[in-house]
Amino acid sequence: MPALANTSPGRKQENMKEGNERKKGKEGKKSKTSRVQGEEFFSRDAVAVAKAILGATLVRRKGKKVIRCRIAETETYHGLRDRASHASRGKTPRNAPMFGPAGRWYVYFTYGMHWMLNLVTGADALPSAVLIRAVILEDGTILNGPAKLTKYLGVGKAFNGKETSPKTGLWIERGRSVSSLRIRASSRVGVGYAGPYWSRRKWRFTML
């Protein structure tokens, strides 16, 4: 005959407590994962994404260290006709990630010394990307330049073409939403070569 189970009130309370703790652990893991923005979020118009990620959290995992920073400034590069965009020259080995799926990183080297971190957006074969220009660290420090933030986060060529995902060590999570009244639109930086029309497009977005 099998032994009778311990059904005392004290034992029941312990079982319920253990069950609740396991449930909370699963829910916590699920909620943390659900904050991560995926391909569907990024498969939209580049201008919309550039505004939407203001206030979002850029996360970099380096070994056991996790760095979180709030995105404060972005720039849009959209389509083949945008003469300020690398894509205006057609597809090349360098800009190939721009022509691929949304939710990937486009990381390129410029001026022989700096890495630029861009997020691929829009539909496949429509080359668009958003440059992350500035972030705010958790201690309030502002990294106000794309080269500063890639250097601080340790971002380089290895991320080029990789998915924006915890699996790759670099991803974006939902943050506090930013009202349109707190977003300033202005001309992009250093694109005078693109001509009057494209250089004056107000595709640079700053969180106020």
Where do the domains of the chain lie, and which CATH numbers do they carry? 39-207 (3.10.300.10)
Alpha helices in the chain (DSSP H): 9-34, 39-42, 46-52, 146-153, 196-199
Q: What is the pLDDT of residue 23?
A: 45
| Mean of pLDDT values over 182-198 | 96
Range of lowest pLDDT (10-24, 37-51, 130-144):
10-24
User: Residue 205 corresponds to which amino acid?
Assistant: F
Q: What is the pLDDT of residue 111?
A: 85
Q: Check residue 68 and give left, alpha or beta (phi > 0: left; psi -120 to 50: alpha).
A: beta
User: Residue 108 corresponds to which amino acid?
Assistant: Y
Q: What is the pLDDT of residue 73?
A: 98
| Mean of pLDDT values over 108-114 | 91
Residues 96-125, buried b or exposed e (16+ Cβ, 10 A)? ebbbebbbbbbbbeeeeeebbbbbbbbeee
Q: Check residue 101 and give left, alpha or beta (phi > 0: left; psi -120 to 50: alpha).
A: beta
How does pLDDT run across 129-169, given as a tens digit for each residue? 999 999 999 999 999 999 999 999 999 999 999 999 999 99
Q: What is the pLDDT of residue 10?
A: 52
Burial of residue 22 (CB within 10 Å: 0-12, 13-18, 19+) is exposed
Residues in CB range of 134: below 8 A, 6 or more apart:
71, 72, 73, 142, 143, 144, 145, 146, 149, 206
